[in-house]
A = this chain, B = another copy of it.
Protein backbone atom coordinates (compact mmCIF):
# COMPACT_ATOMS: atom_id res chain seq x y z
CA UNK A 1 0.00 0.00 0.00
CA UNK A 2 2.46 2.70 -1.02
CA UNK A 3 1.07 6.24 -1.40
CA UNK A 4 -0.10 6.85 -4.95
CA UNK A 5 2.38 8.43 -7.31
CA UNK A 6 1.81 12.05 -8.21
CA UNK A 7 0.03 12.61 -11.53
CA UNK A 8 0.74 16.15 -12.60
CA UNK A 9 -1.92 18.24 -14.28
CA UNK A 10 -5.69 18.42 -14.25
CA UNK A 11 -8.50 16.53 -15.96
CA UNK A 12 -11.56 18.06 -17.55
CA UNK A 13 -15.17 17.00 -17.25
CA UNK A 14 -18.30 18.35 -18.87
CA UNK A 15 -21.56 18.58 -16.90
CA UNK A 16 -25.02 19.73 -17.85
CA UNK A 17 -26.50 21.94 -15.13
CA UNK A 18 -30.24 22.60 -15.19
CA UNK A 19 -31.43 26.17 -14.73
CA UNK A 20 -30.92 29.72 -15.98
CA UNK A 21 -27.46 31.24 -15.98
CA UNK A 22 -27.39 32.31 -12.36
CA UNK A 23 -28.70 28.94 -11.17
CA UNK A 24 -26.19 27.14 -13.36
CA UNK A 25 -23.37 29.29 -12.06
CA UNK A 26 -24.39 28.55 -8.48
CA UNK A 27 -24.60 24.83 -9.28
CA UNK A 28 -21.14 24.92 -10.85
CA UNK A 29 -19.65 26.62 -7.78
CA UNK A 30 -21.37 24.09 -5.57
CA UNK A 31 -20.10 21.17 -7.67
CA UNK A 32 -16.50 22.41 -7.51
CA UNK A 33 -16.62 22.29 -3.69
CA UNK A 34 -18.93 19.30 -3.21
CA UNK A 35 -16.93 16.96 -5.41
CA UNK A 36 -13.64 17.75 -3.72
CA UNK A 37 -13.43 19.39 -0.28
CA UNK A 38 -17.12 18.94 0.63
CA UNK A 39 -17.29 22.03 2.78
CA UNK A 40 -18.01 25.73 2.42
CA UNK A 41 -15.27 27.83 0.80
CA UNK A 42 -14.98 30.16 3.79
CA UNK A 43 -13.45 27.55 6.09
CA UNK A 44 -10.68 26.51 3.68
CA UNK A 45 -7.10 27.46 4.50
CA UNK A 46 -5.63 29.79 1.85
CA UNK A 47 -3.33 28.49 -0.88
CA UNK A 48 -3.11 24.97 -2.34
CA UNK A 49 -6.58 23.75 -1.35
CA UNK A 50 -8.77 26.54 -2.80
CA UNK A 51 -6.28 27.20 -5.62
CA UNK A 52 -5.72 23.61 -6.77
CA UNK A 53 -7.78 20.98 -4.95
CA UNK A 54 -11.19 22.63 -5.33
CA UNK A 55 -12.69 21.99 -8.78
CA UNK A 56 -12.33 24.86 -11.23
CA UNK A 57 -15.07 26.13 -13.54
CA UNK A 58 -13.30 26.54 -16.88
CA UNK A 59 -16.29 27.63 -18.96
CA UNK A 60 -20.06 27.85 -18.87
CA UNK A 61 -22.18 27.96 -22.01
CA UNK A 62 -25.87 27.83 -22.68
CA UNK A 63 -26.90 24.37 -23.80
CA UNK A 64 -28.61 24.07 -27.14
CA UNK A 65 -30.06 20.65 -26.24
CA UNK A 66 -33.84 20.31 -26.13
CA UNK A 67 -35.56 20.07 -22.75
CA UNK A 68 -35.42 22.29 -19.67
CA UNK A 69 -33.04 25.29 -19.86
CA UNK A 70 -29.53 24.18 -19.00
CA UNK A 71 -25.88 25.17 -19.19
CA UNK A 72 -22.84 23.16 -20.16
CA UNK A 73 -20.10 23.55 -17.57
CA UNK A 74 -16.53 22.49 -18.21
CA UNK A 75 -14.89 21.77 -14.86
CA UNK A 76 -11.31 20.76 -14.18
CA UNK A 77 -10.00 18.78 -11.23
CA UNK A 78 -6.49 18.12 -10.02
CA UNK A 79 -5.40 14.66 -11.22
CA UNK A 80 -4.03 13.91 -7.77
CA UNK A 81 -7.46 14.18 -6.16
CA UNK A 82 -8.22 10.77 -7.69
CA UNK A 83 -5.14 9.05 -6.28
CA UNK A 84 -5.12 7.20 -9.62
CA UNK A 85 -8.01 4.98 -8.44
CA UNK A 86 -11.27 4.38 -10.30
CA UNK A 87 -13.27 4.33 -7.06
CA UNK A 88 -12.08 7.81 -6.11
CA UNK A 89 -12.27 9.02 -9.73
CA UNK A 90 -15.97 8.10 -9.75
CA UNK A 91 -16.37 9.86 -6.44
CA UNK A 92 -14.86 13.06 -7.86
CA UNK A 93 -16.90 12.72 -11.06
CA UNK A 94 -20.29 12.09 -9.49
CA UNK A 95 -20.13 11.03 -5.83
CA UNK A 96 -21.96 13.59 -3.72
CA UNK A 97 -23.72 15.44 -6.53
CA UNK A 98 -25.51 12.21 -7.40
CA UNK A 99 -27.61 13.14 -4.34
CA UNK A 100 -28.59 16.54 -5.75
CA UNK A 101 -30.90 17.35 -8.63
CA UNK A 102 -30.05 19.04 -11.90
CA UNK A 103 -26.46 17.86 -12.32
CA UNK A 104 -25.69 15.50 -15.19
CA UNK A 105 -22.22 14.25 -16.05
CA UNK A 106 -21.97 14.58 -19.83
CA UNK A 107 -18.44 13.50 -20.73
CA UNK A 108 -14.86 13.07 -19.70
CA UNK A 109 -12.71 15.45 -21.71
CA UNK A 110 -8.97 15.97 -21.88
CA UNK A 111 -7.17 14.02 -19.18
CA UNK A 112 -3.57 15.33 -19.28
CA UNK A 113 -2.13 12.02 -18.29
CA UNK A 114 -4.86 10.76 -15.96
CA UNK A 115 -6.62 8.54 -18.48
CA UNK A 116 -3.20 7.14 -19.33
CA UNK A 117 -2.91 5.86 -15.76
CA UNK A 118 -5.58 3.31 -16.59
CA UNK A 119 -4.77 0.46 -18.93
CA UNK A 120 -8.36 0.31 -20.14
CA UNK A 121 -9.42 -2.46 -22.53
CA UNK A 122 -6.79 -5.15 -22.99
CA UNK A 123 -8.15 -6.15 -26.39
CA UNK A 124 -10.48 -3.45 -27.66
CA UNK A 125 -12.01 -3.79 -31.11
CA UNK A 126 -8.80 -4.65 -32.92
CA UNK A 127 -7.67 -7.18 -30.33
CA UNK A 128 -11.01 -8.94 -30.20
CA UNK A 129 -11.17 -9.07 -33.99
CA UNK A 130 -7.68 -10.54 -34.11
CA UNK A 131 -8.57 -13.13 -31.49
CA UNK A 132 -11.65 -14.19 -33.44
CA UNK A 133 -10.01 -13.93 -36.86
CA UNK A 134 -12.79 -11.59 -38.00
CA UNK A 135 -11.15 -8.47 -39.34
CA UNK A 136 -14.15 -6.73 -40.88
CA UNK A 137 -17.71 -7.80 -40.27
CA UNK A 138 -19.83 -7.09 -37.18
CA UNK A 139 -19.36 -9.69 -34.47
CA UNK A 140 -22.17 -12.00 -33.41
CA UNK A 141 -23.08 -12.78 -29.83
CA UNK A 142 -25.83 -14.48 -27.91
CA UNK A 143 -26.70 -15.59 -24.39
CA UNK A 144 -27.39 -19.01 -22.85
CA UNK A 145 -30.57 -18.84 -20.81
CA UNK A 146 -33.00 -18.97 -19.10
CA UNK A 147 -32.09 -19.21 -15.45
CA UNK A 148 -33.56 -22.42 -14.10
CA UNK A 149 -32.10 -24.74 -16.75
CA UNK A 150 -29.50 -27.22 -15.57
CA UNK A 151 -25.84 -26.87 -16.48
CA UNK A 152 -26.29 -29.75 -18.93
CA UNK A 153 -29.18 -28.00 -20.65
CA UNK A 154 -27.34 -24.66 -20.80
CA UNK A 155 -24.28 -26.39 -22.23
CA UNK A 156 -26.49 -28.03 -24.83
CA UNK A 157 -27.64 -24.61 -25.96
CA UNK A 158 -24.10 -23.22 -25.91
CA UNK A 159 -22.96 -26.06 -28.14
CA UNK A 160 -25.73 -25.44 -30.63
CA UNK A 161 -24.94 -21.71 -30.78
CA UNK A 162 -21.28 -22.57 -31.37
CA UNK A 163 -22.13 -25.06 -34.08
CA UNK A 164 -24.13 -22.29 -35.71
CA UNK A 165 -21.09 -20.04 -35.75
CA UNK A 166 -21.86 -17.36 -33.15
CA UNK A 167 -18.59 -15.61 -32.23
CA UNK A 168 -19.20 -14.89 -28.56
CA UNK A 169 -21.58 -16.95 -26.42
CA UNK A 170 -22.16 -15.46 -23.01
CA UNK A 171 -24.02 -16.57 -19.93
CA UNK A 172 -27.20 -14.68 -19.23
CA UNK A 173 -26.07 -12.23 -16.55
CA UNK A 174 -28.60 -13.68 -14.08
CA UNK A 175 -26.74 -16.99 -14.07
CA UNK A 176 -24.67 -16.82 -10.90
CA UNK A 177 -24.10 -19.82 -8.66
CA UNK A 178 -27.65 -21.04 -8.17
CA UNK A 179 -28.31 -24.60 -7.02
CA UNK A 180 -29.95 -25.45 -10.34
CA UNK A 181 -26.74 -24.67 -12.32
CA UNK A 182 -23.68 -23.99 -10.20
CA UNK A 183 -20.96 -21.78 -11.60
CA UNK A 184 -18.36 -24.52 -11.64
CA UNK A 185 -20.46 -27.10 -13.45
CA UNK A 186 -21.92 -24.58 -15.87
CA UNK A 187 -18.58 -23.00 -16.82
CA UNK A 188 -16.98 -26.39 -17.28
CA UNK A 189 -19.77 -27.89 -19.38
CA UNK A 190 -20.45 -24.80 -21.48
CA UNK A 191 -16.76 -24.24 -22.24
CA UNK A 192 -16.42 -27.87 -23.28
CA UNK A 193 -19.56 -27.80 -25.41
CA UNK A 194 -18.40 -24.68 -27.22
CA UNK A 195 -14.91 -26.09 -27.81
CA UNK A 196 -16.27 -29.34 -29.25
CA UNK A 197 -18.81 -27.62 -31.47
CA UNK A 198 -16.33 -25.06 -32.79
CA UNK A 199 -13.61 -27.59 -33.63
CA UNK A 200 -15.02 -29.17 -36.84
CA UNK A 201 -15.28 -25.83 -38.63
CA UNK A 202 -11.94 -24.65 -37.19
CA UNK A 203 -13.61 -21.55 -35.83
CA UNK A 204 -12.58 -19.55 -32.80
CA UNK A 205 -15.62 -19.12 -30.62
CA UNK A 206 -15.49 -17.53 -27.20
CA UNK A 207 -17.62 -18.63 -24.28
CA UNK A 208 -18.02 -15.88 -21.66
CA UNK A 209 -19.30 -17.10 -18.29
CA UNK A 210 -20.78 -14.55 -15.90
CA UNK A 211 -18.33 -13.85 -13.08
CA UNK A 212 -20.53 -11.29 -11.30
CA UNK A 213 -20.16 -12.62 -7.78
CA UNK A 214 -19.41 -11.78 -4.18
CA UNK A 215 -16.31 -9.62 -3.89
CA UNK A 216 -13.99 -12.40 -2.80
CA UNK A 217 -15.11 -14.84 -5.49
CA UNK A 218 -14.93 -12.84 -8.70
CA UNK A 219 -11.28 -13.63 -9.35
CA UNK A 220 -11.63 -17.23 -8.25
CA UNK A 221 -14.47 -17.77 -10.71
CA UNK A 222 -12.62 -15.96 -13.48
CA UNK A 223 -9.49 -18.07 -13.04
CA UNK A 224 -11.51 -21.25 -12.87
CA UNK A 225 -13.29 -20.20 -16.07
CA UNK A 226 -10.00 -19.66 -17.85
CA UNK A 227 -8.68 -22.97 -16.60
CA UNK A 228 -11.64 -24.87 -18.06
CA UNK A 229 -11.33 -23.07 -21.39
CA UNK A 230 -13.63 -20.05 -21.28
CA UNK A 231 -12.39 -17.52 -23.81
CA UNK A 232 -13.93 -14.36 -22.34
CA UNK A 233 -15.72 -13.10 -19.24
CA UNK A 234 -19.01 -11.35 -18.58
CA UNK A 235 -19.42 -9.03 -15.59
CA UNK A 236 -21.96 -6.51 -14.32
CA UNK A 237 -19.90 -3.64 -12.93
CA UNK A 238 -23.04 -2.01 -11.55
CA UNK A 239 -23.29 -4.95 -9.16
CA UNK A 240 -19.60 -5.51 -8.37
CA UNK A 241 -18.21 -1.98 -8.64
CA UNK A 242 -16.33 -0.71 -11.67
CA UNK A 243 -12.92 -1.38 -10.17
CA UNK A 244 -13.63 -5.10 -9.91
CA UNK A 245 -13.96 -5.14 -13.70
CA UNK A 246 -10.78 -3.08 -14.03
CA UNK A 247 -8.92 -5.61 -11.91
CA UNK A 248 -10.08 -8.49 -14.13
CA UNK A 249 -9.03 -6.63 -17.26
CA UNK A 250 -5.61 -5.83 -15.79
CA UNK A 251 -4.89 -9.36 -14.62
CA UNK A 252 -2.11 -10.62 -16.88
CA UNK A 253 -2.60 -14.18 -15.71
CA UNK A 254 -6.18 -14.03 -17.06
CA UNK A 255 -5.77 -11.91 -20.19
CA UNK A 256 -9.34 -12.54 -21.34
CA UNK A 257 -11.70 -10.15 -23.15
CA UNK A 258 -14.32 -8.59 -20.90
CA UNK A 259 -17.98 -7.97 -21.73
CA UNK A 260 -19.70 -5.42 -19.48
CA UNK A 261 -23.42 -5.79 -18.79
CA UNK A 262 -25.48 -2.75 -17.69
CA UNK A 263 -27.62 -4.39 -14.98
CA UNK A 264 -28.36 -2.12 -11.99
CA UNK A 265 -26.89 0.91 -13.79
CA UNK A 266 -30.03 2.17 -15.48
CA UNK A 267 -30.94 4.72 -12.80
CA UNK A 268 -27.93 6.78 -13.82
CA UNK A 269 -29.46 7.42 -17.23
CA UNK A 270 -33.27 7.32 -16.83
CA UNK A 271 -33.74 10.89 -15.53
CA UNK A 272 -32.58 13.31 -18.26
CA UNK A 273 -31.46 16.23 -16.01
CA UNK A 274 -29.66 14.00 -13.51
CA UNK A 275 -27.20 11.14 -13.55
CA UNK A 276 -24.62 10.29 -16.16
CA UNK A 277 -24.96 10.43 -19.93
CA UNK A 278 -25.14 7.26 -22.01
CA UNK A 279 -21.94 8.45 -23.66
CA UNK A 280 -19.97 8.70 -20.42
CA UNK A 281 -21.46 5.76 -18.53
CA UNK A 282 -21.83 3.00 -21.12
CA UNK A 283 -19.03 4.28 -23.33
CA UNK A 284 -16.24 6.11 -21.54
CA UNK A 285 -16.43 4.68 -18.02
CA UNK A 286 -16.79 1.09 -19.19
CA UNK A 287 -13.80 1.57 -21.42
CA UNK A 288 -11.72 3.22 -18.73
CA UNK A 289 -12.57 0.29 -16.46
CA UNK A 290 -11.38 -2.28 -18.98
CA UNK A 291 -14.43 -3.53 -20.90
CA UNK A 292 -13.77 -4.71 -24.45
CA UNK A 293 -17.49 -4.70 -25.26
CA UNK A 294 -20.33 -2.81 -23.59
CA UNK A 295 -23.79 -4.31 -23.70
CA UNK A 296 -26.80 -2.00 -23.80
CA UNK A 297 -30.41 -2.18 -24.97
CA UNK A 298 -30.96 -1.05 -28.53
CA UNK A 299 -33.86 1.19 -29.43
CA UNK A 300 -37.19 -0.53 -29.93
CA UNK A 301 -36.50 -3.79 -28.10
CA UNK A 302 -37.70 -4.55 -24.58
CA UNK A 303 -36.09 -1.36 -23.22
CA UNK A 304 -36.47 2.33 -23.77
CA UNK A 305 -33.19 3.78 -25.10
CA UNK A 306 -33.70 6.23 -27.97
CA UNK A 307 -31.67 6.13 -31.17
CA UNK A 308 -29.79 9.23 -30.02
CA UNK A 309 -28.89 7.50 -26.76
CA UNK A 310 -27.65 4.44 -28.65
CA UNK A 311 -25.56 6.72 -30.85
CA UNK A 312 -24.09 8.25 -27.70
CA UNK A 313 -22.97 4.82 -26.52
CA UNK A 314 -21.31 4.15 -29.87
CA UNK A 315 -19.49 7.48 -29.72
CA UNK A 316 -18.40 6.87 -26.12
CA UNK A 317 -16.92 3.54 -27.26
CA UNK A 318 -14.99 5.10 -30.10
CA UNK A 319 -14.22 8.80 -29.56
CA UNK A 320 -10.68 9.55 -28.43
CA UNK A 321 -10.11 9.12 -24.69
CA UNK A 322 -6.42 9.34 -23.90
CA UNK A 323 -4.82 6.44 -25.72
CA UNK A 324 -7.45 3.94 -24.66
CA UNK A 325 -8.49 1.41 -27.26
CA UNK A 326 -11.95 1.71 -28.78
CA UNK A 327 -14.41 -1.02 -27.80
CA UNK A 328 -17.45 -2.76 -29.23
CA UNK A 329 -20.89 -1.29 -28.65
CA UNK A 330 -23.01 -4.40 -28.10
CA UNK A 331 -26.68 -3.62 -28.66
CA UNK A 332 -29.16 -6.21 -27.42
CA UNK A 333 -32.24 -6.36 -25.24
CA UNK A 334 -34.83 -8.05 -27.40
CA UNK A 335 -33.23 -7.77 -30.84
CA UNK A 336 -34.73 -9.94 -33.58
CA UNK A 337 -33.10 -11.23 -36.74
CA UNK A 338 -35.56 -9.36 -38.93
CA UNK A 339 -34.20 -6.08 -37.55
CA UNK A 340 -30.64 -6.80 -38.68
CA UNK A 341 -30.77 -4.73 -41.89
CA UNK A 342 -31.85 -1.73 -39.82
CA UNK A 343 -29.21 -2.44 -37.15
CA UNK A 344 -26.50 -2.80 -39.78
CA UNK A 345 -27.49 0.53 -41.30
CA UNK A 346 -27.34 2.20 -37.91
CA UNK A 347 -24.16 0.64 -36.47
CA UNK A 348 -22.07 -0.21 -39.53
CA UNK A 349 -19.38 -2.83 -39.02
CA UNK A 350 -17.77 -1.76 -35.74
CA UNK A 351 -20.32 -3.46 -33.54
CA UNK A 352 -21.07 -6.74 -31.78
CA UNK A 353 -24.73 -7.70 -32.16
CA UNK A 354 -26.39 -9.51 -29.29
CA UNK A 355 -29.40 -11.59 -30.31
CA UNK A 356 -30.82 -13.78 -27.57
CA UNK A 357 -34.29 -15.29 -27.52
CA UNK A 358 -34.80 -14.82 -31.25
CA UNK A 359 -32.21 -17.52 -32.01
CA UNK A 360 -34.49 -19.96 -30.19
CA UNK A 361 -37.75 -18.44 -31.29
CA UNK A 362 -37.06 -18.17 -35.00
CA UNK A 363 -37.69 -21.87 -35.63
CA UNK A 364 -36.84 -25.22 -34.05
CA UNK A 365 -33.38 -25.55 -35.63
CA UNK A 366 -31.17 -23.32 -33.48
CA UNK A 367 -28.09 -24.00 -35.54
CA UNK A 368 -29.89 -22.84 -38.66
CA UNK A 369 -31.12 -19.70 -36.90
CA UNK A 370 -27.52 -18.90 -35.96
CA UNK A 371 -26.40 -19.46 -39.54
CA UNK A 372 -29.11 -17.08 -40.70
CA UNK A 373 -27.83 -14.50 -38.18
CA UNK A 374 -24.33 -14.94 -39.60
CA UNK A 375 -25.51 -14.75 -43.20
CA UNK A 376 -27.55 -11.62 -42.60
CA UNK A 377 -24.47 -9.94 -41.17
CA UNK A 378 -22.00 -11.27 -43.74
CA UNK A 379 -24.27 -10.32 -46.60
CA UNK A 380 -23.82 -6.69 -45.55
Residues in A lying within 8 Å of B, measured CB to CB: 1-6, 30, 34-40, 42-45, 48-49, 52-53, 80-83, 85-88, 90-92, 94-101, 143, 145-149, 172-174, 176-180, 182-185, 212-218, 220-221, 224, 236, 238-241, 243-244, 246-247, 262-271, 274-276, 297, 302-305, 333, 356-357, 360-361
Contacts and interface: CB of A to CB of B under 8 A. Distances in A.
Contacts of A265: 98-99
Contacts of A180: 80
A41 B240 CA distance: 29
B44 A97 contact: no
Contact of A239 (B95, B213, B246, B356): B95
B178 A4 contact: yes
B182 A4 contact: yes
Given A179-B4, A212-B88, A148 B48 contact: yes
A98 B263 contact: yes
Contacts of A274: 266-267, 270-271
A38 B179 contact: no
Contacts of A305: 99
A303 B262 CA distance: 28
Nearest to A272: B271
Contact of A39 (B146, B212, B243, B276): B146
Given A264-B90, A271-B270, A271-B274, A214 B240 contact: no
A315 B215 CA distance: 28
Contact of A215 (B90, B92, B241, B262): B241
Given A1-B220, A100-B303, A174 B40 contact: no
A44 B146 contact: yes
A177 B90 contact: no
B96 A263 contact: yes
Across the A-B interface, give the 9 residue pairs with the lowest CB-CB distance, nearest first: A98-B266, A3-B182, A37-B146, A99-B266, A241-B241, A95-B263, A271-B271, A53-B148, A49-B148
A53 B147 contact: yes
Nearest to A153: B45
| Residue picked from A53, A182, A213, A243, most chain B C-beta under 10 Å | A243
Given A1-B221, A99-B333, A267-B275, 17 more contacts: A3-B178, A3-B179, A4-B179, A37-B146, A37-B147, A37-B174, A38-B356, A49-B148, A80-B179, A83-B176, A90-B239, A95-B236, A99-B269, A99-B303, A101-B270, A239-B241, A267-B271
| Residue picked from A88, A143, A184, most chain B C-beta under 10 Å | A88
Contacts of A143: 38
